[in-house]
Structure 1
Amino acid sequence: MSNTILWLRAETKAYEERTPVTPSVAQKLIDAGFELVVERSTARVFADEDYAAAGCVLAEAGAWRKSPEQAIILGLKELDPAFGPFTRRHVHFAHVYKEQAGWQGTLEAFRQGGGTLYDLEYLVDDQGRRVAAFGYWAGFVGAATAVLAYAGQQQRKLPSLDALSAWPDRDALIVEVQEQLSQSCALPGALPSALVIGALGRCGRGACELLQACDLQVTQWDMNETAAGGPFDEVLTHHLLINCVFVGAPNPPFTTHNHLLCDQRTLSVIADVSCDPTGQFNPLPIYHSCTTMDHPVARLLESAGKAPALDLIAIDHLPSLLPRESSEDFANQLLPHLLTLNQLDTGIWRRAESVFQHHVDRLSTCSANSERYQSDEQ
């Protein structure tokens, strides 16, 4: 086959060490006949030299903007619309199809540049199932941070969780969580209970496995338990709530601010792994912005009567705290489909392009409310 140029760009989002293409996956793509250019990055969890050893051509960060027009630009997280107008074909998580903040500006940048977005979240098989996701690791890390925050509360730390940085692997994370629990919950029966909503999905399974590795009592809910709509009093009777559900249709929320004011509340920590504060169907409409790696917890309520203080964790890129394992898992899930990038008019790529075009077409109907877009190249 004629060489298809794949261009792995450097990520620009703070604390993002993950990648959709690991050196071992890069080697397999090159062996299959693709030409692979990798931008240098001091943040990426894999060394530039590992890509060079696999046969990749190295380029400077940001060079994708001057790459050959036929190059397919691979990335992980969204691009700032200021980098547009976007020409070429791009593969990454854009977070724009559910009307998240800034969605119109991003799509307008693609429309002005004539580029195409193949959103990683919308790469689905013919049954509508996603072909690659970080969900397991998001749930795993989200549950871990919830337990660490709970342990911090018991130790009277304020904030209950310090700034976060990546762990070397899942075992190191489990050990730290277990150590913090043993220090803060030494008495029999003092371990926290947890409610995981969305327990049967990839994200929920990751959360449950972390909690079970720490010998915690876990209540597992999925669609059957939430079908009637909330608010749910069971949310209040657990120490930890791990939300692993991204709701895409109107439904009564799992809890509300007034619901949380109950003086019999046991709930101390909410980890909203799905993290959709600006989404119109957010099942936890109790906060307005995400927390960050530097400031991972937000105090929602102070203690009052018998009800403890309530902290929120809502970080939108939790798997980056286990960057090596989450990247290896994701890249291996994605590989069979990357190998078909020379056939963009078929299968998952054609479906993803159709979704993109549908949402670009929506811009004309939303023009009255569209965000003003300007390129930094003007």
Structure 2
Amino acid sequence: MTELHVWLRHEVRSTERRTPIVPSDARRLVAVGVALTVEDSPQRIFPIEEYEEAGCRIAPAGSWVSAPRDAVVIGLKEVPDEPAELTHHHISFGHAYKRQPGAEALLRRFAAGGGALFDLEYLVDEHGRRLAAFGFWAGYLAAALAVLQHRGRLVTPLTPTSKQELDAVLQPAPEDEEFTALVIGALGRSGRGARAAFRTAGVEPTCWDLEETRDLDRPALLGHDVMVNAVLATTPVPPFLRDQDLDDPTRRLRTLCDVTVDVGSPLNVLPVYDRTTEWNEPVRRLRKEPPLDLIAIDNLPSLLPRESSTDFSASLLPQILDFGTGGAWGRSLDRFHQACRELGIEQREFRRD
């Protein structure tokens, strides 16, 4: 059997502090014979010295472009715009299968270089359940930021923290006014995280899932003060919020946080905004009177980088040990090929040499 060579790349986004493989799990991979190269990354929550002590090979940031052809490059968010041709197998969140902006260009880069994308969002078991996800922490942070914004205690720009520190500021103060909160998608990973954060903040949210959204009660939705959307649609559904809803004079909704951030996708259930918000300006006002504030950050778990990375890495470790083109990885690879076919993209055959 050919030795598996995993190449952990530096994340180019300045606000990305997470990693899909933490040092303790890197040590386990090395111990069973996996060759693990880790790029230096000053922003990664875990220092490079911990990977070196775990027995990993160390490489400069961005050097994956010249890695051996058989190295499997792993990261989380977007790859740089160069090189134009992607020749390796990549494991990451590609956000490229629902016609998002830039999706076709990314898939064409893989096709041109003969590489392939194993999208972590589509690394699923035989029942379609994701095997490694940041969902709980995305939901937790979505609700936490929504609460702090609604209570007037959100400090910007946002900076990474720990759950202990975050929970300390989430605790209700005597002067805080009560408010109502709604979590849509409450039974999924992100929904569970949002519910947990609301309860830490002393708020018992209304919980909606599939049953409640089949025949959406818009007046009830707009009658809540705070809403967190944790629904990731895979087929077209009527939007939960429309522009006319934001102008409804009976609207009580004041704070909206979107975990999914499906901007630009035809499957977006909140087509009332056209761009994400960022750490330096996390809140965007959608309406002035009555006010409606939006939080739509697409890497929320990076604000709790240690906790979210540790949980994700633990889930991903057994999958890496079983890496190949069958099972869950085969399903992920099939989804990549399907996306290329849907766009009429011809793919070059992958070569290891």
Alignment map for 1:173-322 (pairs within 5 Å): 173-178=166-171, 181-182=172-173, 186=175, 190-229=177-216, 232-303=218-289, 308-322=290-304
Q: Displacement of 1:61 after TM fit? A: 0.3
Q: Which residue of 2 aligns with 1:151?
A: 151
Q: Is the 8 A contact 1:131 1:334 kept in 2?
A: yes
Letter matched to residue 262 of structure 2: D
2:328 is the counterpart of 1:348: yes
Tell me which of 165, 171, 174 is aligned to 1:172.
165
2:330 is the counterpart of 1:332: no
Residue by residue over 1:26-49, the C-alpha shift from the partner in whole angstroms, topping out at 9 and shown as x without a partner, is 011111111111000001000100
Residue by residue over 1:294-347, the C-alpha shift from the partner in whole angstroms, topping out at 9 and shown as x without a partner, is 1101001112xxxx4110000001000000000000000111101012xx1221
- In structure 1, how many angstroms separate the alpha carbons of the residues matched to 2:70 and 2:183? 45
- In structure 2, how many angstroms separate the alpha carbons of the residues matched to 1:148 and 1:86? 42
Q: Which residue of 1 aligns with 2:4?
A: 4
2:342 is the counterpart of 1:362: yes
- In structure 2, how many angstroms separate the alpha carbons of the residues matched to 1:71 and 1:263? 57
Q: TM-score, normalised on structure 1?
A: 0.88
Q: Is the 8 A contact 2:223 2:252 kept in 1?
A: yes
Q: Is the 8 A contact 2:72 2:90 kept in 1?
A: yes
Q: Where in structure 1 are there 5+ consecutive unaligned residues?
A: 368-378
Q: Which residue of 1 aligns with 2:351?
A: none
Q: Is the 8 A contact 1:6 1:34 kept in 2?
A: yes
SS for the counterpart of 2:28 is helix
Q: Displacement of 1:229 after TM fit? A: 4.1
Q: Is the 8 A contact 1:39 1:62 kept in 2?
A: yes
- In structure 1, how many angstroms separate the alpha carbons of the residues matched to 2:149 and 2:207? 21
SS for the counterpart of 1:95 is coil
- In structure 1, how many angstroms separate the alpha carbons of the residues matched to 2:132 and 2:295? 25
Letter matched to residue 127 of structure 1: H
Q: Is the 8 A contact 2:147 2:201 kept in 1?
A: no
SS for the counterpart of 1:217 is coil
Q: Which residue of 1 aligns with 2:112?
A: 112
Residue by residue over 1:259-281, the C-alpha shift from the partner in whole angstroms, topping out at 9 and shown as x without a partner, is 12222221110001111121102
- In structure 2, how many angstroms separate the alpha carbons of the residues matched to 1:91 and 1:165? 27
Q: Which residue of 2 aligns with 1:370?
A: none
- In structure 2, how many angstroms separate the alpha carbons of the residues matched to 1:217 and 1:191? 10
Letter matched to residue 172 of structure 1: E
Q: Displacement of 1:148 after TM fit? A: 1.0
- In structure 1, how many angstroms separate the alpha carbons of the residues matched to 2:49 and 2:37? 13
SS for the counterpart of 1:83 is coil
SS for the counterpart of 2:110 is helix
How many residue pairs match? The answer is 346
Q: Displacement of 1:248 after TM fit? A: 2.1
Q: Displacement of 1:194 after TM fit? A: 0.5
SS for the counterpart of 1:79 is coil
- In structure 2, how many angstroms separate the alpha carbons of the residues matched to 1:61 and 1:21? 16
The RMSD of aligned alpha carbons is 1.6
Letter matched to residue 273 of structure 2: Y
Q: Which residue of 1 aligns with 2:349?
A: none
Letter matched to residue 252 of structure 2: T
Alignment map for 1:120-139 (pairs within 5 Å): 120-139=120-139
- In structure 2, how many angstroms separate the alpha carbons of the residues matched to 1:77 and 1:112? 21
2:89 is the counterpart of 1:102: no
- In structure 1, how many angstroms separate the alpha carbons of the residues matched to 2:263 and 2:37? 36
- In structure 2, how many angstroms separate the alpha carbons of the residues matched to 1:296 and 1:312? 8
- In structure 1, how many angstroms separate the alpha carbons of the residues matched to 2:296 and 2:54? 37
Q: Displacement of 1:252 after TM fit? A: 1.6
- In structure 1, how many angstroms separate the alpha carbons of the residues matched to 2:344 and 2:201? 51
Q: Is the 8 A contact 1:269 1:310 kept in 2?
A: yes
Q: Where in structure 2 are there 5+ consecutive unaligned residues?
A: 347-353
Q: Is the 8 A contact 2:15 2:279 kept in 1?
A: yes
Q: Displacement of 1:2 after TM fit? A: 4.2
Q: TM-score, normalised on structure 2?
A: 0.95
- In structure 1, how many angstroms separate the alpha carbons of the residues matched to 2:158 and 2:178? 23
Q: Is the 8 A contact 1:22 1:327 kept in 2?
A: yes
Q: Provide the identity percentage.
A: 42
- In structure 2, how many angstroms separate the alpha carbons of the residues matched to 1:248 and 1:267? 26
